[in-house]
Each structure stands twice: as structure tokens, then as C-alpha cells.
Amino acid sequence: MTKLSGQEIADGAPKGWVYLPGALRTRLRTGSFSAGLKLVNAIGAAAEAADHHPDLDLRYTYLDVSLFSHDVGEVTARDLRLAATISKLAAEAGVAAETAGVVRLELGLDSPAQSRVLPFWQALLGLDHRTSEYGDELNDPAGLLPAVWFQESGDEEPRQRWHPDLWVDPSEVQPRIDAAVKAGGTLLSDAEAPSFWVLADPEGNKVCLCTWQERGR
């Protein structure tokens, strides 16, 4: 099974699903825990029949679903098919699929000494080390902690060290920028848009707002 590009995923995904790094995701607004539990059971039966299993996070009024092909480590056509099945089950239950609030947070460490600092953060956080075409990452197998990735930087002071990367659906970018600026922030750069935008809070702490667009990921 071949991994799909961000554009292929966006073109093939059902309404209400978004591609964030490594997975196709949606939030199903169940409205109640009992409705969510029924939907979990229906999705579980469909997943067993397809021999392909999503990650499900059931909360009081919603159910978050994350899909990727474990043997590939990315999204494939298999995930698009199961997403369509899940959307059909949700529609039959009167539950809406949506992208609002579906995000992924990563932490980037800008350092001139990546090889020295990576083992420390891996040991402290208890994360797995993975090297991909995008560089070195530390990932939580349980998916509870943000991924940590490393970016080479200079050693001149003052310099940036930690910065968050917030991945969102492309439709969420402008509303979030507008809200952040209204709250006192600054849009520092859109030079790499629509892949990412750089913002800063009133003290100059930076954050990247990221999407799948125009990148190989």
C-alpha cells in the first residue's frame, strides 16, 4: 500500500475530515456519551470487518477519530475507504463530522547541538526516536504527548529555542490568525504560506501555524 500526498488525501477525504501530519482525522459531535459509545461499537465492527483499525478517543459529547495505515506509517487509500465508511455510520446516527477543533501540536527545538540534546529529551519524556525524510523526531507511542522535532540553528544570542507548531485544517488558518492578532499577537511572516505562517505573542515568542499544503509531507 502506497502513502498518499496531502493533495490526494484532501481530494479523496469525506467532508469533515482533515489531514494532519501522519493521520486523517475528524471530530464526530455525538452530543452524549451514550451516543458516542454506540458509534464506537459500530465503527469497531466495521473496522474488524475491514481488518483496519482507527484510533478512537471517546469524550462526553464527541468522538475523535484518527486513521493511518500502521504498516506504512502514513495515510493510504485504505484509510480513505474506512473514513467514508465511518462518515456513513455517523450520518446514519445523526452525527456530524467536522474539522473545527481538530489540531495537532508539535514542539520544535531549535539547536546547534541536536545530537547532544536529543538523547536528553528522549530519556526525560520517554519517547521513541524516529528518523524520517523530514529529520529526527521523538514520538509518544500512546499519542498523548506532542511530537518533538529538531531544527538546526545558529548559536548567536539571543536566539529562539523552543517553538510550537500547530497543525490545522486550511480552512482554520485565517480565523486563527485573526483571533491571535486581535489578542495582541503579530503575524511575522507569510513567506512560506500556505505551508506555514509565523506568528508571535506580545513578548515575541514565536509559533508556526501549519497545514499540509505545498509540502512533500
**C-alpha cell at position 187:** 503575524
Reported as type and span, the H/E element at residue 111 is strand 104-111
The pLDDT value recorded for residue 184 is 97
> Do 48 and 130 form a contact (C-beta atoms < 8 A)?
no
Average pLDDT, the chain: 94
Q: What is the pLDDT of residues 39-88, one digit of tens each?
A: 999 999 999 999 999 999 999 999 999 999 988 889 999 999 999 999 99
Domain ranges of the chain: 6-98, 104-210
> Do 99 and 83 form a contact (C-beta atoms < 8 A)?
no
Q: Does domain 104-210 have CATH number 3.40.50.880?
A: no
Q: What is the pTM of this model?
A: 0.91
Confidence check: pLDDT of 142 > 90: no
* Amino acid at position 47, single letter: A
Mean pLDDT of 160-181: 95
For the domain made up of 6-98, the CATH class stated in words is alpha beta
Q: What is the pLDDT of residues 182-216, one digit of tens each?
A: 999 999 999 999 999 999 999 999 999 999 998 86
Q: How large is the greatest C-alpha to C-alpha distance in the chain, in angstroms?
A: 58
Half-sphere exposure of 16 (CA within 13 A, CB side): 18
Confidence check: pLDDT of 217 > 70: no
Work out the percent of the chain whose per-residue pLDDT is above 70: 99
The pLDDT value recorded for residue 190 is 98
Residue 38 CA: distances (Å) to CA of 27, 33, 44, 60: 15, 9, 10, 13
Angle between helices 33-50 and 77-92 (to 10 degrees): 140
